[in-house]
Structure 1
Amino acid sequence: MLRFPLALLLACCPAILQAQAQPVPITTAKPGWKWTMDSVHTVVNEVRAGRSLQPAAWPNGSRVAVLLSFDVDNETIAIRYGEPTVGSLAEMQYGARVGLPRIMRLLDKHEIPASFFIPSVSLAITPSMADLIKKSGRHEFAVHGWIHELNMTLPDSAERALLAKAVAELTALTGQKPTGYRAPSWNFSPNTLAILRDMGFRYESSLMADDAPYELVQRGQPTGLVELPVQWILDDAPLFDPRGERYMNPRDVARVWMDEFDKAYEEGTMFVLTLHPHVSGHRSRIVALELLIAHIQAKGAGKVWWATHAEVAEYVRKASKLGEPRAR
């Protein structure tokens, strides 16, 4: 087994090494039935869905906004636990080598924009991905951690240092400063929202409190930060693992996505799909995306706004008169 000690991975950033040396507080979990209502309210209100930012109408008379997003994790999935194998690294390299080019050809064929949430280490391993994504001029780069770290386990200083490093590296590698964030593993630490606010992010896309965009609220106070919610139903990773207990045929998954789109179209809301090049970039799995695109184009001809996450975030911000994100 190849072993890559965490110290080696972080050697390029002394600030992160120093932050990693700080111990993570150990707490003893108390079952919920022993909680006081004050404790319940404190925990529940730390990060909460605020007012809906669902617009009265989407641009150009569209009935629904469709947001395709790709989490370009690749080798970082194998590395983040510190003990990758040659086999796992090869499996993840497929995402950059084969999966992403196959996905880009499909998007280019239909001239569809998308948002690419990328751990900066993933892009540093294969910097040619940046030019491939930038070529059409339609797509957006956004942050997905530094090395797909488990941010829920990190102290504030380490999480903050890693995110600052990720933003700086993505900006240097792509020529575009990202305005959006998606948490690795779709979860927040107790410090994540405060860090995002301090760093000036304009939108976030990791949480699941609605089908429509909404404003994030922290401890009862509006933040001005737009949430573009995700859902495991609309993620390829849980259901496309052939070694997992929940594996589904890609054509069956496509049917679920079509039904989700149909309801979004009926309700006039938003459809957010999350895919991974190392997952959906495989031959039998990209069929699901092909079927979905064909279905959307047939049902929603002329009534679908295909947009990046950043475009939707700014549109709903303006439509709802949300104003600028508020620092702490």
Structure 2
Amino acid sequence: MNDQGQDQPWQWPDQEWRRLVNRVRAGRALRPKTWKGGARFAVALSFDSDHETNELRDGAQSINRLSWGQYGNRVGVPRILAVLEQHQVSASFYVPAVTALLYPDEQRRIIDAGHEIGLHGWIHERNSKLKIEDERELMLRSMETLEKITGHRPTGMRSPSGDFSNNTLALIRELGLAYDTSLGADDDCYELEMDGEPTGIVEIPFDWVRDDAVYFLMDRFSGLRPYTPPSAVFDIFKREMDGAHADGGLFELTMHPHVITNRSRIWIVEELIQYARSLPGGVWFARHDEIAAYVVKHSENP
């Protein structure tokens, strides 16, 4: 036992580690034989509009980092929307409620352009640190805030930082959401199970390898210096896309308006779109809510 009188993991009885593993688990695969219009594969682009909330969540007050967050609104989202409009591509935006309150016009512009807005926490909080009643209250408050601002009730969510508590899936069901995109037990969509039982909730897999932040973000006051050249990041994303195309599966990409839209990086988004359209067999660009609805209806495992 440790100093707190608790057993160490290697001392747990079988039922304890099985309980932990089975709380949230990947269930049936949800890959269709073909995608909409007979397309060989699907591409789902997403943008987490964190803006200033990363700094606010930590109770920090760095004016420099708050201004960096503001870049997402002033430069990032307009630049993204221009690229998506130019190439006639729909995407999903995951928006903390505090971001939406700071920039309501931004959210309405996203919706008016035909894109989706999904839940992304209240202030980009870490769900695993919350009591269930606090997590529930923040999810409800976030849902109501986004619906009031945009006129659309979100149907899916991405947990901030992909931080999924033992209660998150139960609360997703309680709110009546159709899908989640925080977890990564597969390359392609699957149904989430909770305590060994199917939930009907679609998981659209998220993975850090397909996230711009891990390659570009830095913190000048710590040892965080993971800078990767944009050409190398494009190559990683392109190879992930090649794999999705070969499998006839889904390529999901997560980006951030304050990260991907610098002048030296925004080209990555454009070239990925153009590259996807050059691949044989065709591609379907879709919002995450469209992907979730399609795989439920057309899965090889109904």
- TM-score interval (norm. to shorter): over 0.9
Shift of 1:242: 4.6
2:108–2:149 CA contact under 8 A, matched in 1: no
Secondary structure at 1:285 match in 2:
coil
Render the CA deviation track for 1:237-293: whole Å, top value 9, x for unaligned: 011125533221111100111110011001001000000001112111212222212
CA shift in 2, pair 1:131/1:226, >3 Å = same
Secondary structure at 1:73 match in 2:
coil
Equivalent residues in 2 for 1:192-211, closer than 5 Å: 192-211=168-187
The alignment's TM-score, normalised by the length of structure 2, stands at: 0.94
1:287 aligns with 2:273: no
2:28–2:301 CA contact under 8 A, matched in 1: no
The residue type paired with residue 316 of structure 1 is: V
1:216 aligns with 2:214: no
Q: Which moved more, 1:48-57 or 1:312-321?
A: 312-321
1:250 corresponds to which residue?
230
2:282 corresponds to which residue?
303
Shift of 1:198: 0.7
2-side partners of 1:318 and 1:299: how far apart? 25
The alignment's TM-score, normalised by the length of structure 1, stands at: 0.86
Shift of 1:120: 1.1
Shift of 1:322: 8.4
1:317 aligns with 2:296: yes
1:143–1:180 CA contact under 8 A, matched in 2: yes
1:158 corresponds to which residue?
134
The residue type paired with residue 306 of structure 1 is: F
Shift of 1:98: 0.6
Higher RCO, 1 vs 2 (CA within 8 Å, ≥6 residues apart): 2
The residue type paired with residue 166 of structure 2 is: P
Shift of 1:321: 9.1
Runs of 4+ in 1 over 6 A off after TM superposition: none
Match of 1:120 among 79, 87, 97: 97
- Unpaired runs of 5+ in structure 1? 1-26, 324-328
Secondary structure at 2:264 match in 1:
helix
2-side partners of 1:29 and 1:191: how far apart? 22
Render the CA deviation track for 1:50-78: whole Å, top value 9, x for unaligned: 01011122111101010000000101111
1:48 corresponds to which residue?
25
Render the CA deviation track for 1:125-172: whole Å, top value 9, x for unaligned: 0112023212322x1111001111111100001000000000000001
Percent of aligned positions that are identical? 43
1:238 corresponds to which residue?
214
